[in-house]
A and B are shown apart, each in its own frame.
Chain A
């Protein structure tokens, strides 16, 4: 990092915060603060939805995931387009017609206050924890690369978001997200282009052949395995239920499309998200593949988390790490030779040579992996920290390979992604706490100004909670998966409540209330005691709520009719 990087980083962040505050000044009504006066055009709705979903974790972890595991993570998003269609048909017209601030308000009109409060409570748990993770991920990365304390980076991110979410509410969130997403995608594509141009010997088309030959182009897997996290079936079925819950029952997304200026604008925002999301994830994953290609011809670090590595080297008296490092370098030199051979074999379409060099590359890659595992085990022994190296692959590439100026821009990308998703989450937590808890059950009759002031205090409260949670969070195996697992524990149950409300007219409030508690207990048991892929928790939770609601309603009806007869 040099002066140019700092100027770019703080210039971009400062402009975003100032723009958010300036464009949303004078927001003094509940309608303005919580749903941006329902005035956004469809393209702002679409960008806002996409920026909310794509947190910093998406941009830090996803390329690293492609680097290690190939492109198969793309299948996770296959359920999203159909979820957009279903929601445009069902939930969106209903929410718009009732002019609700939150999705949970609708549940009171369909059932009663206890179902509304339970759904709001589930949402506050899942989103409350995940906003902490949303802040934690970039804070951890930035504290590592800048050598700052985690507390400082956490407070920096949290405070920047607080300034414009407290000042302008939902409108500030939507307006800033337009520019944040533009900066994010622009920065990512520039990083991918640099990785490609610094990879010698291959044209862009040949990168596909090379990546495919070494097993990275595993985009679609039709084998059904409920324990496999990413295949087409877990994506289409599990993903469909996850995204129905996320976009239909999670206020952080519902709040985004409720800000549309009409039903048409809200629907178009969701539809374009359905059209663009999968290609966008393809691009992000392929940037990870381009980084992987770069490191086929250039020596990759033994450990991508440079700070942890340097600490381990200092603490390592026995010289074990240096020994592993020299073996790692020898292995890479051999592998590079084979990579050059493979590139020329691909160009010459020489299949026997392709097969021969691929076998050699795979063997050498296994040796590299084994050395990396040994190094990580030794680092854990000497420093007591294991960490997750996958999350550092992309950012380490940025910090070591990009020119000055672009390093600052890419750091602004990480900050922007963190801020955009955190802002939506804080706004959603505020809407739910204010409308579904505070206004509904604590202070029922007050003027608009009172609730706006309360909303601002509640936003500050949730932001402080998120920062505290981020500071307490320990290293997770993989941050993106952790965020999704926390979501999946509650999303299925929430979706079950909403689907019962939309389609199962037979069930009434008490049946849904108790079935939602049973359904949640079942999902938690599945998570604690089975190896079921987490994407299926959504289906299991949703099915359990609807099934038990029907059963409980049946017995309630029988009991009631017997009492009437007596």
Chain B
């Protein structure tokens, strides 16, 4: 992963890892919700 510089510093999070964890977490939550929908209906 490239070091944060003035040019590529991410907004909101301190490093890009924050964004990557957000994407992974949102995917995981979606899979859980879709599994619940599949099993509930």
Interface readout for B1-30 with A: 1 if CB under 8 Å, 0 if not?
110000111110000100110111011001
How many A-B residue pairs lie within 8 Å, measured between CB atoms?
75
A146 to B7, CA, bound (A): 51
For residue A274, which residue of chain B has the nearest CB? B23
Q: Which of A82, A209, A212, A221 contacts B27 (CB 8 A)?
A: A82
A211 to B40, CA, bound (A): 11
The answer on a CB contact under 8 Å between A267 and B38 is no
A121 within 8 A of partner (CB)? no
Q: Interface residues of B toward A: which range?
A: 20 to 34
Query: Chain B residues with Cβ under 8 A from A84's Cβ?
Result: 23
The answer on a CB contact under 8 Å between A264 and B37 is no
A82 to B23, CA, bound (A): 7
Minimum CB–CB distance from A426 to chain B (whole Å) comes to: 30
Q: How many residues on the A side are at the interface (Cβ–Cβ under 8 A)? A: 31
A522 within 8 A of partner (CB)? no
Query: Chain B residues with Cβ under 8 A from A220's Cβ?
Result: 31, 34-35, 38
Minimum CB–CB distance from B19 to chain A (whole Å) comes to: 5
A358 to B2, CA, bound (A): 56
The answer on a CB contact under 8 Å between A85 and B24 is yes
The answer on a CB contact under 8 Å between B8 and A262 is yes
A274 to B11, CA, bound (A): 17
Tell whether A219 pairs with B7 under 8 Å between CB atoms, given A81-B27, A88-B16: no
A74 within 8 A of partner (CB)? yes
Query: Chain A residues with Cβ under 8 A from B24's Cβ?
Result: 81-82, 85
A133 to B10, CA, bound (A): 38
A278 within 8 A of partner (CB)? yes
Q: Which of A208, A221, A232, A278 contacts B37 (CB 8 A)?
A: A208
For residue A86, which residue of chain B has the nearest CB? B20
Minimum CB–CB distance from B30 to chain A (whole Å) comes to: 6
Query: Chain B residues with Cβ under 8 A from A262's Cβ?
Result: 7-8
Q: Which of A208, A217, A218, A279 contacts B30 (CB 8 A)?
A: A279
Chain A 235-257 interface residues, beta-carbon cutoff 8 Å to B: none
Q: Which of A85, A208, A209, A221 contacts B20 (CB 8 A)?
A: A85
For residue B21, which residue of chain A has the nearest CB? A85
A263 to B1, CA, bound (A): 12
The answer on a CB contact under 8 Å between B41 and A208 is yes
A93 within 8 A of partner (CB)? yes
Tell whether A85 pairs with B2 under 8 Å between CB atoms, given A220-B38, A232-B31: no
By a beta-carbon cutoff of 8 Å, the part of chain B in contact with chain A is 1-2, 7-11, 16, 19-20, 22-24, 26-27, 30-31, 34-35, 37-38, 40-41
By a beta-carbon cutoff of 8 Å, the part of chain A in contact with chain B is 74, 78, 81-82, 84-85, 88-89, 93, 208-209, 211-213, 217-221, 232, 262-264, 267-268, 271, 274-275, 278-279, 282
Show 12 A/B contacts (Cβ-Cβ < 8 Å), sorted by A: A82-B23, A89-B1, A93-B2, A209-B41, A212-B41, A219-B37, A220-B31, A220-B35, A263-B7, A264-B8, A267-B19, A268-B11
